[in-house]
Structure 1
């Protein structure tokens, strides 16, 4: 934990620091004096400043920030502008370099990246002499309060680092904007390192404010450029609620200034955690919070047990890893929303299916309670668009009934799950082919969980219904979802669902569709809708259901679950010949499945393992495996095994020639093939013999 109190600064009273805007120091300190560069009268956020070049249409492009326990509490746009959710203001960062003031929202030399696979964003802005780096992320922070108590809550940390060779001035600007529109600020005050908006603590700096400029919206940037600043402490008000303030500190070479933005308490119901939503005192100048490196490591630990894939195109691997962190953070955002022609029930089912499949259990409890809150007397789970989310309830119930708190969840879920199974048996709750297929998978997964909590009769009913519905689904893919009459719009959820349907039918054209889908956004965030230029054009900057269905499509490239067994690599691309493939930790009705593909010349070699789940009989024969993309004639049954499949033709890697084999290519857990030229020992994956 980093202590963020600057010993040279005071938390109250006038600062003893040199004024970063003092013209007499400007040349020696590398800071701007009065600027001769024309400053726009109003510097708008990224989305608004680019609307003029986009037919006045606002492009909603930002990423969520937050913690696992509190969920998403803020959003950050591509220029590093941060808006705390439920607040009517945002935090911007302006840099006074030796030539002029630089504003990320309108400067061209700004780029952003994600650190690792976590929701930690790094924005860099080029100024004379090098880059100024901003990092922003959600944390759990603490602060010592004057009465001896401790403030402990979720917050956002903003770090600004000077990588240039000279000092610069940093103006942390509180602005009456939302990310995509006008907000409001009635009062704006500062005392030492604490900045308040409308009477509530909005930001706490790691050092005291040196100077400030506060005024009506549109006046601050010009005054700042003209060095028309004022004393650091004080409070200003505006009847028009359009106040804006720039709070300036010096940022020497290699120095880092940290800013704490406490979670908004305007709407306590937005928090997942009762602990984090309790009334607490405000943070003070004495506060502690982890740094960006620790947060990235923490997210990696949270997703360590989640599913992962290693496909020939590494883009797929990154999209899955980054999307898992994003879904862990913001899966419940827009949960009840419909999008395009997709109903809220279908979107909820796909989201819950992916969360269960990759093993992200944290969001499932809140989702289950939200769905139970929508259940009607006759058992339907009524979404706002009047669609029935019964299938989504079955998806989330499977891991909850088999988890560590299964006894607690059994009291809440067994009755509603039994009612849901009865509704599906009457033909309710499956209004589309895609939802019907999802229902079959959900029924198959929830059956072992019901046995684990002592409900064998309900489990038998679920399995019988799954078999019956599977006959209706057949082996063909569900119909392609309609994308509406507006051909200029692409609905991301519909495209992901269409790709999944194509993969279920072993249509290799789905690979191209998934590749195109992975090129949109930052390999984690996906909007609900894009235009012909792949720019967001819908109401949602982040559509968790679209993110989930894209992950589901990528996982389907590796492994598809069916009532009759598991399908490894349902399709194959000629460009993948000779490339190794791995998939680890995919949750199925039989348990946690993993496999690896290696090559022996022209022949693919498969190794697989399934760890039986709760309620699954480990003495059974195990699931049946097929691999139609590699060898349509091959199949095998067993919890673990290995097999050498038929030759596929020329490969792109060099290998030793093999003698023709006259023996059966398949080896399983009950067979042990001698290592000969005709039947070589299959190479184990890098992790060793165990896939977990």
Structure 2
């Protein structure tokens, strides 16, 4: 079918263009913090719905410009938040599309995605909002597209609701100036739109082959904006959804994400790692739906080997224990039958959660489950049932569990678990990371150990990000996803490993120092660690670094030793705060 549509000159999504079909998917998730699914945006600004999508085409002075096939499309994030800006170059300047999530109450549900288009050229243009029978990287299904008046609107203009296969899909602020429809039999709607033959009457689209498409066209004056809204998440399919009376603008949404991102903050001498960290912090707000985390922001398994513990550990490192704690104490309700993958995920999650936050009563609550999980993993290893990937994950999780037990005044249990971790980590073939999140975790371990060249590896990995700071990953049924939130989480862990490393008796500050950083300032603020909440900064006085630090220790701790192995291997202190010239 894809070849047939190509021959018939249908406008295909960015990923389905012939020259890109062999590429890894690359998309960006948008949405809101808290319960509700994230929504996918492709590199050309196509917003993906449930088996359909919403595209945007621009009619300029010279011709119609279709973002998925244009070379002049650029995409980025606004304020490093999940707010996607796609710029399309046309004669005279740019037309800009922005996509972001908001909340506004409906009868059922309150989540929306806003699609805003602004004309920054000095002359008027036209914008077509086009409902397509595609998803980002595949043919979807749209049998019927209907449009009818609905509640709300701008001024005297009556809002209109588009339904796809009877479900609310898009709310328009007013009646389109012109519109057109297409199907497999009649051909793509592109032909009607680009020929200027769209009519002014309301028109529905039908296609028994599931390839219905409709275009809804508006004039757009110089500097003018138009917004259409897509209801997402929980909704009543029979509800006559109206146009919201209040729609937050991009600046307000960006400010909201900045507030949510409060917590550990880093300042680095070069921007790549700092920007990647800031973007990842905000992106992780899309992973948690109130009861669990999902690497695709929607419906990936709550217990997903490797991904789940990575996301939860990053949330704990970002000082969000309330997002993780309920999952830790309610783990039995999430797992149906214990297996090695779920045992490893449990140990890794509970160990980091308790090490960083020392929540009273949690260790006692989970101790029996921890012991049982360690025993099952040990038994599986002795029987040769662990794959190299499971072995690597298990060794890491068991090592963290041993640290948790040692800090919890259980030295004998800690030693036993550490012995199991050592045996599993040294036995069998070495694990070679394949997925991007695995590579970031491996680099993070080398940064933690202060290995030469680890920072350069981190920089190389960060350079592979999309323009919006995303990486692909594994999805359901062997399909790839274009924005893997486990990779975002692993970025947080890796950058943190660059700045602080837990040791049995304290903390190493800046365990790795990049050569290009000499003379540049480094800061980390309010970072939870196994020994308390840490802040420090490095300033330079000529060739010598000055260190300022502040550690707010957990209760009932003995002396905590702080070191700076990459700046002055001979220096250490047990003072909780102070400053010194190294």
TM bin (shorter chain): 0.7 to 0.9
Selected match of 2:67 from 104, 121, 143: 104
Task: Judge conservation of contact 1:45–1:81 (CA < 8 Å) in 2.
Answer: yes
Q: CA-to-partner distance for each residue in 1:280-316, whole Å, 9 max, x for gaps?
A: 94421354321111110000000112x1211222211
2:473 maps to 528
| DSSP 3-state at the match of 2:38 | strand
Deviation at 1:481, TM superposition (A): 5.8
Relative to its length, the structure with more helix (as a share) is 2
Selected match of 2:526 from 585, 592, 596: 585
2:493 maps to 552
Structure 1 pair 365–164 and aligned structure 2 pair: CA distance change class (3 A)? farther
Selected match of 2:96 from 120, 133, 154: 133
Structure 1 pair 556–73 and aligned structure 2 pair: CA distance change class (3 A)? closer
1:147 maps to none
Deviation at 1:575, TM superposition (A): 2.5
2:162 maps to 195
Rounded Cα–Cα distance in structure 2 between residues aligned with 1:391 and 1:337:
21
Deviation at 1:507, TM superposition (A): 0.9
2:253 maps to 295
Rounded Cα–Cα distance in structure 1 between residues aligned with 2:364 and 2:48:
41
Structure 1 pair 611–296 and aligned structure 2 pair: CA distance change class (3 A)? same
| DSSP 3-state at the match of 2:226 | strand
Rounded Cα–Cα distance in structure 1 between residues aligned with 2:203 and 2:254:
37
Task: Judge conservation of contact 2:24–2:472 (CA < 8 Å) in 1.
Answer: no
Task: Judge conservation of contact 1:64–1:72 (CA < 8 Å) in 2.
Answer: no
Deviation at 1:641, TM superposition (A): 2.7
1:26 maps to none
Deviation at 1:194, TM superposition (A): 1.6
2:192 maps to 223
Selected match of 2:568 from 612, 631, 634: 631
Deviation at 1:352, TM superposition (A): 2.3
Report whether the alignment pairs 1:598 with 2:539.
yes
Q: CA-to-partner distance for each residue in 1:403-434, whole Å, 9 max, x for gaps?
A: 7xx89xx6xx8544442145437764995355
Selected match of 2:180 from 209, 213, 217: 213
Q: CA RMSD in A?
A: 3.3
Structure 1 pair 397–607 and aligned structure 2 pair: CA distance change class (3 A)? closer
Deviation at 1:123, TM superposition (A): 0.6
| DSSP 3-state at the match of 2:209 | coil
2:395 maps to 436
Task: Judge conservation of contact 1:440–1:563 (CA < 8 Å) in 2.
Answer: no
TM-score, with length taken from structure 2: 0.84
Rounded Cα–Cα distance in structure 2 between residues aligned with 1:365 and 1:288:
35
Structure 1 pair 79–94 and aligned structure 2 pair: CA distance change class (3 A)? same
| DSSP 3-state at the match of 2:432 | coil
Structure 1 pair 177–351 and aligned structure 2 pair: CA distance change class (3 A)? same
Selected match of 1:245 from 195, 203, 214: 214
2:154 maps to none
Deviation at 1:152, TM superposition (A): 5.1
1:17 maps to none
Selected match of 2:24 from 46, 52, 59: 59
2:157 maps to none
Task: Judge conservation of contact 2:128–2:215 (CA < 8 Å) in 1.
Answer: yes
Structure 1 pair 64–464 and aligned structure 2 pair: CA distance change class (3 A)? farther
2:413 maps to 465
Deviation at 1:139, TM superposition (A): 0.7
Rounded Cα–Cα distance in structure 1 between residues aligned with 2:426 and 2:573:
26
Deviation at 1:560, TM superposition (A): 0.7
Task: Judge conservation of contact 1:58–1:180 (CA < 8 Å) in 2.
Answer: no
Rounded Cα–Cα distance in structure 2 between residues aligned with 1:82 and 1:426:
44
Report whether the alignment pairs 1:483 with 2:432.
yes
Selected match of 1:495 from 418, 422, 439: 439
Rounded Cα–Cα distance in structure 2 between residues aligned with 1:232 and 1:156:
27
Q: Which has the higher contact order (CA 8 A, sep 6+)?
A: 2
Rounded Cα–Cα distance in structure 1 between residues aligned with 2:249 and 2:93:
23
Task: Judge conservation of contact 1:445–1:588 (CA < 8 Å) in 2.
Answer: no
2:510 maps to 569
Deviation at 1:327, TM superposition (A): 1.1
Rounded Cα–Cα distance in structure 2 between residues aligned with 1:438 and 1:232:
63
Matches within 5 A, 1:252-651: 252-265=221-234, 281-305=239-263, 307-330=264-287, 332-334=293-295, 344-361=304-321, 363-364=323-324, 367-368=327-328, 371-375=331-335, 380=338, 383=341, 388-395=344-351, 397-398=353-354, 415-421=365-371, 423-424=373-374, 428=378, 432=391, 435-442=394-401, 444=403, 459-461=408-410, 464-466=412-414, 469=417, 482-483=431-432, 491-521=435-465, 522=467, 524-528=469-473, 539-613=480-554, 616-617=555-556, 620-645=557-582
Rounded Cα–Cα distance in structure 1 between residues aligned with 2:162 and 2:414:
58
| DSSP 3-state at the match of 1:355 | helix
Task: Judge conservation of contact 2:147–2:163 (CA < 8 Å) in 1.
Answer: yes
Rounded Cα–Cα distance in structure 2 between residues aligned with 1:263 and 1:518:
31
Larger CA deviation: 559-568 vs 254-263: 559-568
Deviation at 1:243, TM superposition (A): 0.4
Rounded Cα–Cα distance in structure 1 between residues aligned with 2:426 and 2:129:
52
Task: Judge conservation of contact 1:173–1:244 (CA < 8 Å) in 2.
Answer: yes
TM-score, with length taken from structure 1: 0.71
Rounded Cα–Cα distance in structure 2 between residues aligned with 1:162 and 1:40:
31
1:5 maps to none
- Unmatched 5+ stretches in structure 1: 1-38, 144-149, 266-276, 449-458, 485-489, 530-536, 646-692
Deviation at 1:435, TM superposition (A): 3.8
- Unmatched 5+ stretches in structure 2: 1-6, 150-159, 382-389
Structure 1 pair 622–418 and aligned structure 2 pair: CA distance change class (3 A)? farther
1:688 maps to none
Structure 1 pair 122–426 and aligned structure 2 pair: CA distance change class (3 A)? closer
1:649 maps to none
